[in-house]
Each structure stands twice: as C-alpha cells, then as structure tokens.
Amino acid sequence: MQLIVSTILRRLALGLFTLLIVSFIIFGGMSLLPGDFSQAILGQAATEETVAAFRKEIGLDQPAITRYFNWVGAIFQGNLGTSFSGRSGTGQTQAREVAELIAPRLSNTLFLAGVTALISVPLAIMLGLLTALYRNSVFDRTINAATLTTIATPDFFVAYILILFFGSLWQVFPSLANVDATMSLGERLYRISLPVMTLCLVILAHMMRMTRAAIISLLASPYIEMARLSGASQREIIFKHALPNAWAPIATVVAFNLAYLVVGVVVVEVVFVYPGIGQLMVDAVTSRDIPVVQACCLIFAATYIILNLMADIIGIVTNPRLLHPR
C-alpha cells in the first residue's frame, strides 16, 4: 500500500512539473509570434506615444522572462489575468477578467463532453467486449469496418455530413448549437444533439477498437488457456478472467479519449458555433487576445495531464503488477 501511495505521489509531482514546462512552451510560443500585439489591437492609425502607453498598460514593455514569472505567479494565486479585449489604450479600460470570460464557456464545454462521455464510454466498452467475444464473425467485421471508416474521416467532415442529413435534408436537429444558461436541460440536450453525435462517432471508434484489442491480447495469456482447459465458457473467460485484468489499458484509452473531448472539441465547436472554450480560443486568436489564448491552452494542457494521471492511478490500483515492470 505504501508503495502504491508513493508511486501516485511521484506521478502527481511529475504531472505538475510537466504542466510547468507546458506553461513555458505556451508563453514562449505566444511571445515568438510575429507582429506587434499593441499595434494590432489599436490599429494602424495609432501614434507611437499611444502604442507605447498601451504596451506599458498591459505590461508588454517588460522583459519576456519577467512577464512569464508574473503570469505563472498570478496563476498560482488563482488569477488568469485580464483580457486585452475592451482596452483602448486611452486609460478607459472596460476589459474583463479572463476567468470571467472562460468560466461559462468551460461549463458549456464540460457539459458537451459529459453528455458525450455518458453515451460513448459504456457503448464503446460494450461493443469492444462483444466484438472480442464474437471475434471474426460478421458482427465483428461489420463493426470494425464502420469504426475504421469513422477513424479515417476528419471530425469536421463527419460534422458536415450530419448537418447535411439531419439538419438540412431532414430537419430533425438544429444545425447551430447555440445554447445559454436560461435554457432547460431538455432544450440544451436537443440543441447539442449533432455535436454529441459527431464526438460520439469519433471517440467511440477509438475506444471500441482499443478495448477489443486489450481483451483479445489477454485471451492469449496462459491463465486464459488454463481457464479454457478447466471447461469455462467463452463468456466466463471474458467477463470473469480477461475483463478484470483489462481495466488498466481500458482506463488509459478512456482517459485519452476523454482528454480529446475537452482538448480536441475545438473543431466541433467551431463547426456548430457552440459557445464553448474551443470557440472562445479561436475568437481570441482572431483578435490576438494573448491572455485568453494562454489561459485556454493551459486549461487544455492541464485537462490532458490530469486525465492521463487518473488513467495511470486507475491502472496502478487495479493492477499493482505495474509497479514491478519486468
């Protein structure tokens, strides 16, 4: 037990260190972008004095390393900074806090990802088990062909195909997923139907195939051969012997795909004009709103790292043999 706890603590420390490195890469990447952000925000008609005053107002006159440590220090205090949007460089600032801008958008993205996960994760595990149970059957080959087709199709193309059929030819669902906090749960679920279907088709294929591969790999193990020789049925072998040992790889696959739901949802949100954090980041890139872009990237990175840490911890807890690799 002590070994498990110490391993988990080491993984958490490694995750924090990784996030720190990612924050440096994010900040460095934004600093290396060409062009003057102050000039872009104020416009070409702004005078040099106005640009200089604006740069001082938003802190761009300081060295990059100083701005980086100020940014990281503010994050540790729970402050994501102030958006550049609304600043005029004339002393009349109407800018909003980045956290205030991100909070409702992040809530929308998590709602979309949560609904998708509730549908796709159980369905993917069930299909993975069934295709492993009926390996090389017509059912298995049909599901594999369908999932391979989905994997090979870009997300935005899947979205547009769904819009064509279910939003245009047959107007079953709305093409634009414009939701707000005043809507009822039923209305929100109806409006996000097409984005959820798009995400489910994409991640369902990955999770199902990885679950199937994990089960089939375990079926070749010696203890499974012993179970077969003892007279156990195929169902007993999979559900009683193979599945308990497959939770670690399955958890890893689920974590990767859940990370995709939050990190890779940008394209889907843009296609359906869904007011999530991905759409916010795209809008911030267009307007060169550096603090918002940095905060969105950091949230995406933190989500990916946290979900992978959770997968590692689940794998360690469910299969302690991972603590003693050969």
Alpha-carbon distance of 118 to 101, in angstroms, equals: 27
Q: How confident is the model at residue 62 (pLDDT cuts 50, 70, 90)?
A: confident
Alpha-carbon distance of 186 to 159, in angstroms, equals: 22
If you average pLDDT over residues 199-219, what whole number do you get? Answer: 83
pLDDT of residue 9: 83
Strands (DSSP E) found in 126-259 = none
If you average pLDDT over residues 179-200, what whole number do you get? Answer: 88
105-289: CATH topology is MetI-like fold (1.10.3720)
Alpha-carbon distance of 173 to 168, in angstroms, equals: 9
Looking at the predicted structure, is the pLDDT value of residue 238 above 80? no
Domain locations in the chain as residue ranges: 105-289
Name the region of 33 (left: φ>0; alpha: ψ -120 to 50; beta: rest).
Answer: beta
Looking at the predicted structure, is the pLDDT value of residue 326 above 80? no
Q: How confident is the model at residue 240 (pLDDT cuts 50, 70, 90)?
A: confident
Looking at the predicted structure, is the pLDDT value of residue 90 above 70? no
* Mean pLDDT, the chain, whole residue set: 81
Alpha-carbon distance of 118 to 148, in angstroms, equals: 22
Lowest-confidence range among 13-27, 71-85, 108-122? 71-85
**Cα-to-chain-centroid distance, residue 197:** 16
Q: Most confidently modeled of 89-98, 113-122, 224-233? A: 113-122
If you average pLDDT over residues 248-263, what whole number do you get? Answer: 76
What is 224-277 written as a DSSP string?
Answer: HHHHHHTT--HHHIIIIIIHHHHHHHHHHHHHHHHHHHHHTTHHHHHHHT--SH
Looking at the predicted structure, is the pLDDT value of residue 250 above 80? no
pLDDT cut 70: percent of the chain above it:
91
Alpha-carbon distance of 73 to 144, in angstroms, equals: 49
If you average pLDDT over residues 134-157, what whole number do you get? Answer: 86
Alpha-carbon distance of 90 to 113, in angstroms, equals: 41
Looking at the predicted structure, is the pLDDT value of residue 92 above 60? no
If you average pLDDT over residues 34-54, what whole number do you get? Answer: 73
Q: How confident is the model at residue 91 (pLDDT cuts 50, 70, 90)?
A: very low
Structure confidence by residue, pLDDT tens digits, 121-135 = 889 888 888 888 788
Q: How confident is the model at residue 60 (pLDDT cuts 50, 70, 90)?
A: confident
Alpha-carbon distance of 151 to 198, in angstroms, equals: 12
Structure confidence by residue, pLDDT tens digits, 2-20 = 777 787 788 888 888 988 9
